Structure 1
Amino acid sequence: MSLKERQPSWLSRLVRRVLVGIYKRGGWHAHGVVPESRKFVLIAAPHTSNWDFVYFLGLTDDLGIMPHFMGKSSLFRWPFTNFMLDMGGVPVDRSSNKNYVQQMIDEFKRRKEFMLTIAPEGTRGNVKAWKTGFYHIAMGAGVPLVVGMMDYQSKTGGLGPEIWPTGDYKADMKKVAEIYSTVVPKYPAKGMTGIFAKDET
């Protein structure tokens, strides 16, 4: 079943249909069980290609879920407001006096269902350290981390098991790395760099 909080516009439906069509024609298929609570931080890694977004969208559609993502508030201005919201965007105020981690924690408290997708690498290139905001959001909201996987070798992907953050970042990331160890990204040389080098939010 599809979990949507608003009726999307015809343009949003068309764009999603085209992207899901690309995913299906590519021969991808999904696996994994969606946590019953429908409230979790979904880790999108390793992020090595723009194609990741297309196939990730197809995989989540295959699983019957509608994950959300953060976007700076300026991206939600007219005429893109409805489109961004329809695609799962959540506006975030990144001004100096606003804490985006707390904004997302508050968002979790307001919603009965909220699957927040975050790419902790923050870029498609090699990184020295993952941004740890995703971890602090999960800790503060009291929700699990769920590993999102896309294996380009087998053209399969989906969700890994829930990992409840303990406050020991390094130990928890070892669990994440173990799940990702068998996943082949589009560009393997760029995959999973910086997972253990704790960075500031």
Structure 2
Amino acid sequence: MTPKIPAGIPQTNYRLVRRLSAKLLTLFGWKIIGNFPAEKKFILAVAPHTSNWDFIVSVLVMLSLNLKVTFMGKKSIFVWPLRWFLEKIGGVPVDRKHPQGVVGQMVDVFNNSQSMILALSPEGTRSKTKQWKTGFIIIAKQANVPIIPISLDFRKKEVEIHRPYIVQDDIQQALMEIKRQFVDVCAKNPHLV
């Protein structure tokens, strides 16, 4: 079953790519469960991230749902001739040395957008890590947007869209509550979780 996409969510209109991506997901045995909230701006926290396959499955899901997703990239890669392409597919250049930092830059992007989906990996790496980054939670709080946890379960071959999470004051509490959504999820490489 394909999730319903509420009006207002940023979308593309690539019908052929959408159909091809949906067929590939079906061919590989993947299904998408859950639904998106009727929000125009939010952050997709996609986890667990232990393999390049996570990116491939995520892109197929994004394309099969016609979602127009934004992602962050180092400013240094946004140069000619790649800049136009990266921005066209949703890339936003961020300068790690900027006075506002990455968080401040992304809050500005959210505040200057009518609608926006920012997709990221909370771990910030494919390698084994004990602690997730908190930047995505701080961005959500400062930009006043919900976080939608998205789990990639390689055992069940399910991409689950979880309920939106609204960040209150306690960043560490928010991190613990969001991480709970992923407790029983089987990563591609479980030993890296």
Residue among 32, 35, 40 paired with 1:33:
35
Residue among 77, 84, 88 paired with 1:75:
77
2:146 paired residue number: 144
Provide closer, same or farther for how the CA distance between residues 110 and 59 of structure 1 changes in structure 2, counting only shifts above 3 A: same
Deviation for aligned residue 1:20: 6.4
Residues 117-168 of structure 1: CA deviation (Å, up to 9, x unaligned) = 1212111111132221111100100111110111111111031110101121
Matches within 5 A, 1:88-107: 88-107=90-109
CA distance in 2, matches of 1:98, 1:154: 41
Q: Partner letter of residue 120 of structure 1?
A: P
TM-score of the two chains, using structure 1 as the length reference = 0.81
Residue among 173, 182, 185 paired with 2:184:
182
CA distance in 1, matches of 2:65, 2:34: 8
Q: Percent identity?
A: 34
Deviation for aligned residue 1:62: 3.1
Provide closer, same or farther for how the CA distance between residues 182 and 64 of structure 1 changes in structure 2, counting only shifts above 3 A: farther
Q: Which one is further off, 37-46 or 18-27? A: 18-27
Residue among 2, 7, 10 paired with 1:3:
10
CA distance in 2, matches of 1:85, 1:45: 24
2:117 paired residue number: 115
Report how many residues are paired.
Answer: 185
Q: Which aligned runs of 4 or more in structure 1 are off by greater than 4 angstroms?
A: 16-22
Deviation for aligned residue 1:108: 0.7
1:66 paired residue number: 68
CA distance in 2, matches of 1:128, 1:179: 16
CA distance in 1, matches of 2:65, 2:160: 8
- Are residue 47 (structure 1) and residue 49 (structure 2) matched? yes
Provide closer, same or farther for how the CA distance between residues 95 and 174 of structure 1 changes in structure 2, counting only shifts above 3 A: closer
Q: Partner letter of residue 115 of structure 2?
A: E
CA distance in 2, matches of 1:182, 1:105: 31
TM-score of the two chains, using structure 2 as the length reference = 0.84
Gaps of 5+ in 2: none
RMSD: 2.5
1:165 paired residue number: 167
Q: Secondary structure at the match of 2:132?
A: coil
CA distance in 1, matches of 2:91, 2:19: 17
Gaps of 5+ in 1: 192-201
Deviation for aligned residue 1:186: 0.5
Q: Partner letter of residue 49 of structure 1?
A: S
CA distance in 1, matches of 2:40, 2:161: 12
1:199 paired residue number: none
Q: Partner letter of residue 95 of structure 2?
A: D
